[in-house]
Amino acid sequence: MLFPTFEFAAFFSVVFVLNWLLRPHPVPWRLMLLAASFVFYAAFEPAYCLLLAFSILANQAFGVAIHRAVGEGARRGLLVAGVVVNLGLLGYFKYADFFVESVTDVLGGFGIDTGWVSLEIVLPVAISFFTFQALSYVIDIYRRDAEPSPLLDFAVYLSFFPHLVAGPIVRARELLPQIRERADPRRVNSALAFRLIMAGLFKKVVISSFVAAAIVDDVFAVPERYRSIEILFAIYAYAIQIYADFSGYTDIAIGCALLLGLRFPQNFDAPYAALSIQAFWRKWHMTLSFWLRDYLYIPLGGNQGGERRRDLNLFLTMVIGGLWHGAAWTFVVWGAIHGVALVAERRILAAREAAGKVPGTFSPVIRWAVTFHVVCLAWVFFRADSFGAAFTLLWRLVAAPGVGEAVTPMLVFVVVAMVAAQFVPSEAVDRVQVVFSRSAPIVQALALAIGLLLVDALGPEGVAPFIYFQF
Amino acid sequence: MTVERREPRSLRYHDLSGSRPLPAGRVLVIGMLAFAMAAVLNADGLYELASRQPVGWKRDVARTAVAPACFVGRVTHLKDVRGAIRGAADKSVTDCSDGARSGSDSFVEPVTTTTVGPGQTTEPPVVARVPSTEEPLRMWLGGDSMTIELANAVEAAVVDRPEISLTTHAQVSSGLSRPDYFDWPAHLTDEVLPERPEVVVVMFGANDSQGLDIDGRPYQPSAPEWQAEYRRRVGVVMDMLRGDGRLVIWVGQPRMRDAGFDQRMAVLDGIYSEEAASRPWVHFLDSRPVLSPDGDAYQAGTGGTSLRQSDGIHLDTGGAARLATAVLDAVQEQFVERRPG
């Protein structure tokens, strides 16, 4: 069940009414949300519900067992078991075929036939997201940052449909307290919720679909047919597409949760306005960045140890983060490019500071341009089907001069406008939101209807799947 | 062991910042009013959506539900706003006031063909020639979403072959069952044939295993009436494409992962194959051995190459490349060298 569909609109309308009717009754309210989330998930594939149910039961069992364990050894053993079960499940569904193919390819290069065949495992939607959330719950209990919640609360948290399929990655300590406390039905932050939902729909249905159809899909499919300027704009356009697609999804998710009285963490904060790669990762898929920082970078040693060790930790975190996005070497390279860029950036800035250099007038512009283009370069490997396709694209970027016909004025306008929009101060948008919230209900409804009209009129026929569903 | 619980900083951006919170009931009213107004403004879009539902009660109910919004939109002219926006954006416009078409009307026997019927022509069905850079082979390839990757793969294969001029059109969710959604006969007549392609490659079927509206009655794919009507439509399209020595390559459906779907596609492949056999200008390209190279069963990949996408239906780049090679081999054999198989 995709967000921008009538099925979801009807489903959500029913859930909204039941949510506020049942909110004074804690157990029925929780049971209703749990049932709604499983109905939502079953719409993708009913069999996946068994996997989600297993994850809920197993992680609750690990959380409770760790909390009750007396000795540190027992606690650590249970933690390791919990991590192995979670990563084992994720590894089987997501990486088993990747492993088989990689080993077969490498040994095949030496003339060794493994005889292994692809297991043809279908990756269940949402598994990457709920596995990371479940891990945070178990690890937080181990670290004594949280206590186990009742099973029903944990089940509602892990399966809650707005964040289930493609995030944001909501921590247990962010959502579980809200499930326990009763939201005030007289104070729904509807203005922010509607703003997020409308912005998300426009980004996903109009912008993402437009740039994909206008240039991205064609250029990445057959780069040999295109000239350098077309390829350059296809890369820029893909940067816009994946931002519009993914941030659009999470905007809708956060808005829907907010209408139900539950708050999710922010996931995007104008990432293409970042002046450094480090700042980019504080603005892009923020919930994943912070998850990787807390549950991977810091356990690896974080900033402890020498400079080299710190750089290695950073690099490994980015590479593993890349692999989380997909079981392919192109994703590993995507993560590695970011890892190298982060390390290089850190060292260059430290060296400049040590040399007493002061940033010049144009320093922010140069830093923005370098950051944006490094991010775009990495996106080539994220989007390309293979290294061959990525290198062909990059080669033609420099070796096939020319403008071509695929770069239209509308495409240039959309790309430039979307990048420029990242620099609009959020206070300006907040002021519009305040005016909206204080308008009469009929005016608010009319504004929303006009927004839906624009989304429908400017959008394509049908709804393309969200890019991040595959992760 | 006591855990201190503070509001995580990550949630602070939800602060109202001066916005006025509303009671849930009023939010519901605003939402319902917005949907009602949007329904009137988007009446044409809703009608398009309703028309895309499977033939039968679902489509009838959807169209009936949309009718009031269409009426209000037409009387108040509010629905014209959407048409104006789509027109300015160079997008197609449907008018919900136009009423429904059954779909069968689109498949009428061609009247402007160079022949009088299969096997009764005085000219050779396919006029072969060796294409050159100066006079490239005009090749058109199209169909449903199965041809998205196929078109990309053929384009990649001919990018360094200036003797082939390729045009493609992949229309998602289309086929021969639902011309009320996308009218392929009209598109072929109006957009494709005027360009006088010498080779036409089509691939239909993946969306066709659904109810057909025949003389006002819905029939399902298992019904003999359905199969007879579908066979007729296939024949009409094949005859429509004949002319000027043109070669038609009709690509069959590959094995599908879902057994039931695979069985239904096999029925369609049988129809394509039989209809092509009686028309010498049509070459049926069986995609099953191409995309199941290691046996007569669905195959996701071979030798580390992914043939099919994770849905078990669509082609992945590896599969599309294999099928593109088969298509271009067929063009070489059936058109350039003219060795009918």
Among B4, B17, B77, most A C-beta atoms within 10 A, so best to mutate, is B17
Measured between CA atoms, how close is B331 to chain A, in angstroms?
21
Domain assignment of residue A471, yes or no: no
Taking the C-alpha atoms of residue A466 and residue A469, their distance in angstroms, rounded to an integer, is: 6
CB contact under 8 A, A441 and B29: yes
Question: In this prediction, what percent of chain A has a pLDDT beyond 90?
Answer: 51
pLDDT of residue B188: 93
Measured between CA atoms, how close is B119 to chain A, in angstroms?
40
> What three-state secondary structure class fits B249?
strand
Task: Give the residues across from B138 on adjacent strands.
Answer: B165
Task: Give the residues across from B166 on adjacent strands.
Answer: B139
Residue A469 DSSP class: G
Which range, of A70-74, A116-120, A213-217, B91-95, averages the lowest pLDDT?
Answer: A116-120
Question: In this prediction, what percent of chain B has a pLDDT beyond 90?
Answer: 42
Task: Note whether A227 and A353 are same-domain residues.
Answer: yes
Closest listed residue to residue B255, CA positions, set B205, B296, B204:
B296
Task: Note whether A94 and A166 are same-domain residues.
Answer: yes
Residue of A nearest to B48 (CA): A461
Listed residues A180, A201, A229: the one ending a domain: A180
Tokens of B266: 């096999």
Size of interface A-B (CB pairs under 8 A): 166
Task: Note whether A385 and A452 are same-domain residues.
Answer: yes
For residues A72-100, one letter each, b for 16 or more C-beta atoms within 10 angstroms of the residue's C-beta and e for the rest, the string is eeebeebbeebbebbeebbeebbbebbeb
Task: Note whether A308 and A421 are same-domain residues.
Answer: yes
Task: Note whether A167 and A218 are same-domain residues.
Answer: no
Listed residues A154, A180, A206: the one ending a domain: A180
Task: Give the residues across from B212 on adjacent strands.
Answer: B219
Measured between CA atoms, how close is A145 to chain B, in angstroms?
6
CB contact under 8 A, A433 and B17: yes
Task: Give the residues across from B315 on adjacent strands.
Answer: B308
Taking the C-alpha atoms of residue A266 and residue B12, their distance in angstroms, rounded to an integer, is: 9
Please indicate if any CB of chain B lies within 8 Å of the CB of A290: yes
Residue B182 — very low, low, confident or very high, per pLDDT cuts 50/70/90? confident
Rg, Å, chain A Cα set: 23
Chain B residue numbers touching A70 (CB-CB < 8 A):
none
Tokens of A263: 């708050």
Listed residues A180, A205, A231: the one ending a domain: A180
Residue of B nearest to A189 (CA): B21
Please indicate if any CB of chain A lies within 8 Å of the CB of B88: no
Out of A259, A263, A462, the one facing B172 most closely (by C-beta) is A462
Task: Note whether A217 and A173 are same-domain residues.
Answer: no
CB contact under 8 A, B20 and A438: yes
Residue B288 has pLDDT above 50, yes or no: yes
Residue A213 has pLDDT above 70, yes or no: yes
Mean pLDDT for A311-327 is 87
Measured between CA atoms, how close is B109 to chain A, in angstroms?
30
Taking the C-alpha atoms of residue B176 and residue A290, their distance in angstroms, rounded to an integer, is: 50
Amino acid at A318: M
Task: Note whether A170 and A233 are same-domain residues.
Answer: no
Which range, of A180-189, A379-388, B2-11, B207-216, averages the lowest pLDDT?
Answer: B2-11
Which range, of A135-139, B8-12, B46-50, B276-280, averages the lowest pLDDT?
Answer: B8-12
pLDDT of residue A466: 47
Question: Is the peptide bond preceding residue A168 cis, with omega within 30 degrees of 0?
Answer: yes
Which range, of A31-35, A87-91, B167-171, B227-231, averages the lowest pLDDT?
Answer: A87-91
φ/ψ of residue B58, rounded to 5:
-60, -45
Amino acid at B237: V
φ/ψ of residue B302, rounded to 5:
-150, 135
Residue B316 DSSP class: -
Instruction: Please indicate whether residue A338 is annotated as part of the active site.
Output: no
Q: Tell me which of A163, A285, A325, A338 is the catalytic residue.
A: A325
Residue B127 — very low, low, confident or very high, per pLDDT cuts 50/70/90? confident
Residue B116 has pLDDT above 70, yes or no: no
Task: Note whether A168 and A194 are same-domain residues.
Answer: no
Domain assignment of residue A12, yes or no: yes
Domain assignment of residue A250, yes or no: yes
Mean pLDDT for B110-128 is 57
Measured between CA atoms, how close is A274 to chain B, in angstroms?
19
B5 compared with A102, residue with greater pLDDT: A102
Residue A441 — very low, low, confident or very high, per pLDDT cuts 50/70/90? very high
CB contact under 8 A, A452 and B41: yes
Inter-axis angle of helices B43-51 and B80-88, to 10 degrees? 80
Q: Are A151 and A31 in contact (CB under 8 A)?
A: no
Task: Note whether A396 and A425 are same-domain residues.
Answer: yes
Taking the C-alpha atoms of residue A25 and residue A34, their distance in angstroms, rounded to an integer, is: 14
Tokens of B224: 């003999």
Taking the C-alpha atoms of residue B17 and residue B7, their distance in angstroms, rounded to an integer, is: 17
Taking the C-alpha atoms of residue A124 and residue A134, their distance in angstroms, rounded to an integer, is: 16
Taking the C-alpha atoms of residue B294 and residue B287, their distance in angstroms, rounded to an integer, is: 13
Task: Note whether A48 and A148 are same-domain residues.
Answer: yes
Domain assignment of residue A220, yes or no: yes
Domain assignment of residue A464, yes or no: no
Residue of A nearest to B160 (CA): A224
Chain B residue numbers touching A6 (CB-CB < 8 A):
49
Please indicate if any CB of chain B lies within 8 Å of the CB of A293: no
Q: Look at the block and give the residue holding tokens 């948008």.
A: A429
Mean pLDDT for B172-179 is 84
Which range, of A104-108, A258-262, A267-271, averages the lowest pLDDT?
Answer: A104-108
A 156-195 near B (Cβ less than 8 A) = 171, 173-174, 177, 185-192
Mean pLDDT for B20-41 is 92
Taking the C-alpha atoms of residue B130 and residue B128, their distance in angstroms, rounded to an integer, is: 7
pLDDT of residue A461: 66
Structural domain harbouring A405: 190-458
CB atoms within 10 A of CB B9: 9
Question: In this prediction, what percent of chain B has a pLDDT beyond 70?
Answer: 87
Residue of A nearest to B299 (CA): A120
Average pLDDT taken over every residue of chain B = 84
Mean pLDDT for B228-255 is 93
Out of B10, B86, B300, the one facing A265 most closely (by C-beta) is B10
Determine the Cα angle at B183 with ends B182 and B186, to 5°. 145
Task: Note whether A257 and A337 are same-domain residues.
Answer: yes
Tokens of A422: 């990242």
Mean pLDDT for B133-137 is 92
pLDDT of residue B115: 43
Domain count for chain A: 2
CB contact under 8 A, B33 and A224: no
Task: Note whether A403 and A280 are same-domain residues.
Answer: yes
What's the distance, Cα to Cα, between the start and end of chain B in Å? Answer: 80
Residue A400 — very low, low, confident or very high, per pLDDT cuts 50/70/90? confident
Tokens of B152: 């990309």
Reported as a single tens digit per residue, the pLDDT across A152-168 is 999 999 999 999 887 79
Q: Where are the alpha helices (DSSP H) in A326-462?
A: 329-354, 363-383, 387-399, 409-421, 426-437, 441-458
Question: How many residues belong to chain B?
Answer: 341
Inter-axis angle of helices A48-68 and A26-42, to 10 degrees? 140
CB contact under 8 A, B19 and A16: no
Residue B22 DSSP class: B
Write the DSSP assignment of A30-89 as a string of letters: HHHHHHHHHHHHHTT-TTHHHHHHHHHHHHHHHHHHHHH--SHHHHHHHHHHHHHHHHHH
Measured between CA atoms, how close is B28 to chain A, in angstroms?
8
Domain assignment of residue A67, yes or no: yes
Sort A121 into a burial class: Cβ within 10 Å, 0-12 / 13-18 / 19+: middle
CB contact under 8 A, B31 and A13: yes
Domains, chain B: 21-98 (no CATH), 104-336 (3.40.50.1110)
Domain assignment of residue A229, yes or no: yes
pLDDT of residue A89: 86
B99 compared with A396, residue with greater pLDDT: A396
CB contact under 8 A, A441 and B42: no
Question: In this prediction, what percent of chain A has a pLDDT beyond 70?
Answer: 96
CB atoms within 10 A of CB A268: 21
Reported as a single tens digit per residue, the pLDDT across B148-165 is 999 999 998 998 899 999
Chain B residue numbers touching A9 (CB-CB < 8 A):
35
Residue A429 has pLDDT above 80, yes or no: yes
Taking the C-alpha atoms of residue A437 and residue A88, their distance in angstroms, rounded to an integer, is: 47
Residue B2 has pLDDT above 60, yes or no: no
Q: Are B327 and B320 in contact (CB under 8 A)?
A: no
Average pLDDT taken over every residue of chain A = 88
Rg, Å, chain B Cα set: 25
The pTM of this model reads 0.80
Please indicate if any CB of chain A lies within 8 Å of the CB of B37: yes
Reported as a single tens digit per residue, the pLDDT across A214-234 is 899 888 888 888 889 999 999
Q: Are A32 and A18 in contact (CB under 8 A)?
A: yes
pLDDT of residue B123: 59
Reported as a single tens digit per residue, the pLDDT across A356-387 is 887 777 788 999 999 999 999 999 999 988 88
Q: Look at the block and give the residue holding tokens 């072929």.
A: B188
Chain A residue numbers touching B89 (CB-CB < 8 A):
457-458
Domain assignment of residue A470, yes or no: no
Name residues whose C-beta falls within 8 Å of residue A299's C-beta, 6 or more positions apart in sequence. none
